[in-house]
Structure 1
C-alpha cells in the first residue's frame, strides 16, 4: 500500500492523566539528514527513554525530533530537601568572593532561594501506580506520534503539489529546448556562413569544408542526451511522488542529476535563447530541490 509523501516538519501534543499524576507529551520535528532524536524527560522517568525511542523509530524514518515529557504529581506532597552538593558549591563561591568583593553577607533565605539548593522530592507512588502511570504515558506518546505523522502527511501533500508544478515547468522548458531551431545543422551552417562572410569577405571557402565545420559544431552543441535524460528524470520524479512513502533522499539525488544536465545544457548551448532556457531550467530545478529538502 502506498502512502502520500510526508514533510519532515510538524508538531503534536498529547496530554494524559493517571491516578496520582497528570502529564503532557510533546513531539516536534524539523528537517534532518537521518532520524535524530532528542529527549527531555521529567526527572525520574529516564527508564521510559528506550520505549519512547522505539515508538518514534517505528513511526518516523527521518527528521530531527525533540520529544518532551512533563509530569505533575497530584498535590504538593513529598519532602523539601537541601541538595548538599549544590549548597557546598555556593558556599565555596561566597567564601572565595568575600575577600575580593565589598558587599553585605548574603542571608540564608537568599542562599536557599538559589536554583538547585532546595529540591522538591515527590512522595514515592506504589509500584502498581507507577506502572499504570508509565503505561498511560506510553499510550499518550503513541497518540502524539500518530498526530505528528498525520500533520507531516498533510504538509507533504501540499509539498507534493508544489513539486509537480515545478516538474511541469521543467518539462515545458525541455520541450522548448527540444523544439528550438538553433539546434538544427542547417541553422548552424547558416550562422557559420554569416560569421565567415563578416570575417572573410574576399576568401572563398568550399561548401564541403563549411558543411564539415557545421557538422563538427553541431556535434559539440548537440544536447539530445541531456534532453533525453531530463525527460527520464521527470518521469522518475513523478513516479516517486505518486508512490509516496519516505522518498526524500531519492528525490534529492534526482534533483542533483537534474542540475547536472541543466549545467551541461548551458555549457553546450550554441544560441542565446538556448542559454536562457538552460538558466530558466536551473532556476526551476533550484526551487524543486529547495522543496525536496523538506520531504521525509
Structure 2
C-alpha cells in the first residue's frame, strides 16, 4: 500500500503523577531522518524511542516533540546538613556576642547560608516512564500513519490514472509505427521519381534503403519494455511494502525507453506522443518523491 511521507500525529497519556504529550510531523526525504526534542531527563530513552518509531516508519524527515508534565514533586528530596547548620549558628552567635549585635539568630538567617539545604532528585524509573510514554507514542503513530495512508491513497489513484494515459499513448505509438515505414517508402519513391523522372527506379536499392530505415527506426523492443514497466508500476503501487524507491527506479527506466522511442521514431506524430508521455512521467515522478 502506498504511503505518503507527509503526515502529522498527536498522542497523550497520563497517570496520577505524570503526563506525556507526543507530536509528530514529517515531510519527504530520501531516507529516514528523525529529529527528537524532549526533556533532558528522557535522554537515556532516545535510542529506545528511535527504534520504536522506526519499526513503523521507514522514510521521511520526521520531527518528534515530547513534552513531560509532572503533577507532584515526590521525586524531590530536600536534605538538611544539621552539623553545618550548627556550625553556622555557633559562628553567628559568636559574632553577635563579640560585636554586641541586636539581631536575633533565626531560621531566616540560617536559610541564607550556603549548603545547609540541598535538593536531590530521585533517579527516574525508566520502565515506569516508558509504560506511560509508549501509550502516547502509539496514539501519535496511529494518527500519523493513518494520515500518511490516506494521502498515499490519493497519490496512488493519481499515478494509476496517469499510467492509463501513458498506456493509451504507447498504444497509439504502436499503431503508428508500421505506418511510418510505409510513408517513408512512398516519400522516398516519390522523391526519386521527381529527380530521375523517366529513369527506371532500382527496386532492389529502394527495398534495401527502406529496410535499413525500418531497422533503424524499429521501436518494438522499447514499446514492449515500456508496457511492461507500466504493468510493474501498477503492481508495485498495490504491494504491501515500502515502494518509493522501486517506483523511482521504474520511472527512470520508463523515461529511458521513452527517450529512445523519440530518438528512433523519426516521425512528428510519434514525437508529439513522446512529449505527452514524458509530461505524464514527470508528474508521476513528482508524486513519487512524496511516497515512502
**TM-score (structure 1 length as normaliser):** 0.77
User: Which residue in 2 is equivalent to 1:216?
Assistant: 212
C-alpha distance after superposition, 1:245-279 (max 9, x if no partner): 21111111000000001111111122111110111
Which of 242, 252, 258 is residue 256 of structure 1 equivalent to?
Answer: 252
Offset of residue 61 of structure 1: 1.4
* Change in 2 beyond 3 A, CA 1:58/1:181: closer
Shift of the alpha carbon at 1:197? 4.2
* 1:106-152 residue CA offsets vs partner (Å, 9 max, x unmatched): xxxxxxxxxxxxxxxx9836756x65333211221122112211111
| Mapped partners of 2:228, 2:196: distance in 1 | 44
> What CA deviation, in whole Å up to 9, does each residue of 1:26-67 have, x standing for no partner?
111211112111111123211121111011111111111111
- Which residue pairs with 1:90 in the alignment? none
Tell whether 2:12 aligns with 1:9.
no
**1:220-253, Cα deviation, whole Å (9 max, x unpaired):** 1111111101111011111111224211111110
Secondary structure in 2 matching 1:8: coil
2:38 to 12, 17, 41: 41
Unaligned runs of 5+ in 2: 78-118
CA drift at 1:154: 1.1
* Bigger radius of gyration: 2
Query: How many residues are matched?
Result: 250
Displacement of 1:181 in angstroms is 5.7
Greater alpha carbon shift after TM alignment, 192-201 vs 229-238? 192-201
Match among 272, 277, 283 for residue 276 of structure 1: 272
| Structure 2 residue corresponding to 1:149, chosen from 137, 140, 145 | 145
CA deviation after TM superposition for structure 1 residue 211, in Å:
1.3
Task: Tell me the TM-score normalized by structure 2.
Answer: 0.78
**Would the alpha carbon gap of residues 7 and 179 (structure 1) be closer, same or farther in structure 2, given more than 3 Å must change?**
same
- Which residues of structure 1 form unaligned runs of 5+? 80-121
Cα pair 1:18 1:133 within 8 Å, conserved: no
User: Runs of at least 4 residues of structure 1 off by over 6 A?
Assistant: 75-79
Per the alignment, residue 26 of structure 1 pairs with: 23
Q: How does 1:73-88 map to 2 (within 5 A)?
A: 73-74=70-71
Pairwise CA distance, 1:182: 5.7
Closer, same or farther in 2 for the Cα pair 1:54/1:181, shift >3 Å?
A: closer
SS of the equivalent of 1:61 reads coil
Once superposed, what is the RMSD of the aligned Cα atoms?
Answer: 2.4
Match of 1:231 in 2: 227
